Each structure stands twice: as structure tokens, then as C-alpha cells.
Chains A and B, each alone.
Chain A
Amino acid sequence: MGRLILKGVTRKFNGFFAVSGVNLEVADGEFVCLLGPSGCGKTTLLRMAAGLDAPTDGELLLDDNKIEGVNKECGFVFQEYVLFPWRTVKGNIEFGPEVKGMQKEERERISQHYIDLVGLKGFENHYPHELSGGMKQRVGIARAYANNPKLLLMDEPFGALDAQTRNLMQGELLRIWENEHISALFVTHSVDEAVYLADRVVVLSARPGTVKEIFDITLPRPRVRTSPEANALRDAILKSLGAEIKRAAGKV
């Protein structure tokens, strides 16, 4: 199971509201993308789902349990990878199992499984600085998965990659995700990415962020990025998002 519910989630930072009254549900095994103008609190929402930050008002529930303190049942994938530079690929992936006190053989079985799954066979003993951006994020994804999470939280994980690697990694992410269906909340700036990946796309309003519009994407996977249906969806989402970007820009 891995059902995330946000009930009236509000987060206030010294004097301004980052997000206000967000109601949202990520069903078990669902892939939800969050889209919104810069500064609308997308990352804040993810951090609260991870328990790295707490709402000022409202609550977040994972499988009906209130998220209080760090949510150890989530796997967080960061934009800048945030790998432990002193650990090898294998060492990074084994971090979660290791701090849980898992035996060495068990840890190695898990890390090997995910190294194979994300396509890093042969790079087990490489350090992060020896890897390309795409490979680093493969490690980031494997590290999150190896912790056996109920919920994947991804904060623009491909934002730092070049366009081609980005498209490739989106396909790879779906392949991995379809292998082990875990609920996913994915923050992105890219409408194209959202339409390619998500079951549902949630458009947030300009600050204070709140749910503006939700788009169901029922296109079968693998999706064709240039299909008429995908184009129509992108068009609709861009219009919805565009209005918010203008509002956000007007405020600054």
C-alpha cells in the first residue's frame, strides 16, 4: 500500500504562504505529477510528504497514518542527485538497508538487484564523481527503491540533465516503475515530462500554491510524445499553467 492524502495542507514561512489549503490524493500505485510556476511550493509539498518539513495547518496521511517526523517509508529522489560522494554506487544504494541494520548478504542481494534494474551493472564500485548525470540519477532512483518505500517523492529529478538524456531517463524511470509499482509524486517544470509520465497531472496555482486543475492522462504507455492526444493534453495543460506563470511573474 502507499496512499498519500493531503488535507488542507498549508505552509507559512516568515510572513508568506508557500502553499495554502492543498487537498490532494495519490492513490496506491498511482503516478502523479505536480506542475506549477516557480515558487508555488511544489518542493515544499514534497518535503512535507517526506516529513522533512511540517505543515503549519492541515495534515498529510500515508495509508491513514499521519506523517509526523521524517517519513521513513518514502524514497526521495533529488534534482541534484545528492549522492554520498564518499560512497560507491553500491555503497549509496545500500545506505538505507545498512542503517536499518540489515545483514551484509541481504544488503548485497538488494543492491545487486537494483543495480541490475537501473542498468548500472559494471559500475558497482564507481564513485559518484566518476559518473555522468544520467547515471548519477539512476543511482538516486536505485537508492530510493532499495529502501523499499511505499511512496516515491521526486523533486525535478531530471531537471539537471540535457534534453536527450532526460527523455531517455523518463523512459527508464517508467520501465523501473512498472517493474515495481510504487505510488509516485513527481515535481517537474516540464509539461512534456508530465504528460509522458503521469497518470494524473496536478497544476498548482501561483503562490500561495493551491490545486488549480487536475488532468487525467489515460493514454496507454509507452506513450508517443507527438501523438495528437498528447499534443491536445499538453496544449490544455500549458494554457492552465501559463495563466499561473503570468500571475506569478506579475507578483514579483
Chain B
Amino acid sequence: MIKNDSERKGLIINILSLIGFIIFWHILIVLAREHIFNIPFMRLKDIPTPLETWNALVGSMFTQTYGPGLTYGIIDHIRASLVRVVQGGAMAFIIGVPVGIGIGYSRLIHNILNPIIEIVRNMPPMAWIPLAIFILVTGGSIFIVFIGVVFPIILNTIYGVRSTDARLIDAARTLGASQVQIVAKVLIPSAFPSIIAGLRIGFGVGWMAIVAAEMVIRSPVGLGYFIWNMGDLGRYAEMVAGMIVIGVVGYIMNISILLLEKRLIKWVD
């Protein structure tokens, strides 16, 4: 992974920066609790310190039973949220890619679908939550993710198809390719990097959407539900731990798709 001195230096700075942030966070909270310093209008002392957050994270990692009650662990919450994002994302991919190819390829399809898409894509996923609760018996959160992921995929697919080098299409035609073959063997492979980029952007949006959806569409498991519930209960250390987990999982998801991109697309300079 690390190739040279400058990359090693960069990594060291990255790590120091994280450590620095944690120390700063700790000092800030301790100063507030000791009444030495506080930011006006903020209750800094109620924020857990890094260590408290860490302990909360470790403590709530796995499913626990309190008397007759059952509390899901963070691992279960991560799994539940990820499954929803993957389900919604997969649906968005299956529908978004053909729609994007159709719009990118055909002026007629573009003219038919574009006005609808241009308006619908400007409605944030969160704006769909009330409707989703209202009309969907189940899978509301998955639907919200779908809304978040599908538009980046459609737009990137359109862009990918449209930016196909016209000469490649000419070359394929002189080599005897039919219209269908041009779509399958020229437009789609040419748009592929752009489609994967759309998938990556989409999953980023989908991850934000799922957390919001889970807060509103209550189900007993999911990271969004977890941090909302912990906040409700006044267990701020668990809540902050949940927030950090959301960030870390989102980051890992992004990196994973980037790595997948590199593996799948060997032909780009």
C-alpha cells in the first residue's frame, strides 16, 4: 500500500491528526466539566469524553438482555442498516442503469422521462419519508435508500453513455455491429466507469438516507434508530459512539467501492 517516503509521511500526519482531534475533544470536555472554559450557549459538559464513548461502544457492541428486555448490539444495528442500504442500492442499480442507458441513448426516451426525473430528483430522500410510512406496509427505509441511490446512478449512466467517443461507435458500425450490439458492446462498457462512480456516490447518499429514515420509520434495529433511541434515553456516550460508527462504516463502504472500481476497471490509464 505505502510506496514511498512522502506517502509514509502523509499517513503519519493522518494518524497524528486523528489523535490530536481526540485529545482536543477530551480537553474541551474536561475543561467544561471543571467550569474552566465553555462555549456560550452550549452544554459541552454533557458530551461524553472519548474514553466514555469508547467504553460505551465496547459495552453496547453485542446484543444484551436486561431482565426480560432485549437490547440489540451495535453489530446488529450495523448489519440491519447495511442490509437495507444494499437492498435499496441493488434495486436502484437494477432500475437506474437501464433507465440511464435509455435516456443517454435515445432522444425520445430522454424527452419522455427527463421532466419527471428532473423534478423528482430534487426531492430529497427525507422528503419521501412521510409518504413511505403512509403507503408502504413494510420496507419503507429500503424505499428511502432506493430514492437516494437511484438518481446518482441514472445521472452518471446518462453522462457515461453520452460521453462515449463517437468514433468508437463509428468503428463498431464499420465492423458490422447492430444497434443492439453497439449498446451492449460499446455504450455500456464505455459508460461502465461512470456507472460505478454513480454507484459510489449513490451509496454515500443512501447511507445518509438510511440513518434519517430509521430515525423516523421506527423499527427496533438500525443505526439511525439506535442513536435516536440512545439520545431519547439520555445515554449520550452510546449515541456518540453510534454516530462515529455511522461515519466509519460509511467511509469503509466508500473505500470498498473504490477498490472494487480499481479491480473491475483495469483498462483506464
Contact = CB atoms under 8 A, between A and B. Distances in A.
A124 to B, nearest CB: 15
Interface range for B: 20 to 34
Interface in B72-124: none
Interface stretch (B14-22, B135-143, B165-173): B165-173
A129 B269 contact: yes
Nearest to A84: B168
Interface string A73-106: 0111010101011110000000110111000000
B266 A96 contact: no
A86 B3 CA distance: 27
A86 B170 contact: no
A129 B174 CA distance: 23
A29 interface: no
Chain B contact residues, majority secondary structure: helix
A71 B170 CA distance: 11
A126 B241 CA distance: 48
B268 A82 contact: no
Contact of A100 (B174, B176, B266): B176
B175 A143 contact: yes
A127 B177 CA distance: 21
A78 B166 CA distance: 12
A56 to B, nearest CB: 20
B176 A78 contact: no
B267 interface: yes
Interface in A35-69: 50-52
B186 interface: yes
Contact of A129 (B170, B173, B267): B267
Chain A contact residues, majority secondary structure: loop
B161 to A, nearest CB: 14
A20 interface: no
Interface string B127-152: 00000000000000000000000000
A100 B189 CA distance: 19
B163 interface: no
Contacts of B167: 78, 80, 82
Contacts of B190: 86
A72 interface: yes
B181 interface: yes
B172 A52 contact: no
A70 to B, nearest CB: 5
Contact of A72 (B174, B185, B269): B174
Nearest to B266: A127
Contacts of B181: 99
B170 A52 contact: yes
A87 B172 CA distance: 13
B184 to A, nearest CB: 10
A183 interface: no
Contact of A127 (B175, B176, B267): B267
Q: Which of B177, B186, B192, B267 has the most CB of A within 10 A?
A: B267
A66 B23 CA distance: 80
A96 B175 contact: yes
B172 A86 contact: no
B220 to A, nearest CB: 46
Contacts of B71: none
A76 B168 contact: no
A74 B176 CA distance: 9
A76 B171 contact: yes
Given A95-B185, A99-B181, A86 B267 contact: yes
Contacts of B173: 52, 70
B178 interface: yes
Given A80-B167, A85-B268, A129-B267, A71 B174 contact: yes
A85 B190 CA distance: 8
A86 B268 CA distance: 8
A128 interface: yes
A98 B184 CA distance: 12
B264 to A, nearest CB: 10
Nearest to B184: A99
A147 interface: yes
Contacts of A147: 174-176
Interface string B191-209: 0100000000000000000
Given A52-B170, A86-B192, A99-B177, 12 more contacts: A71-B174, A74-B174, A80-B167, A82-B168, A84-B168, A85-B268, A95-B177, A95-B185, A99-B176, A127-B267, A128-B267, A129-B269
The 8 closest A-B pairs by CB, nearest first: A96-B175, A76-B174, A86-B189, A127-B267, A72-B176, A99-B177, A82-B167, A70-B173
9 contacts: A76-B170, A82-B171, A84-B168, A85-B267, A86-B190, A87-B267, A96-B175, A99-B175, A143-B175
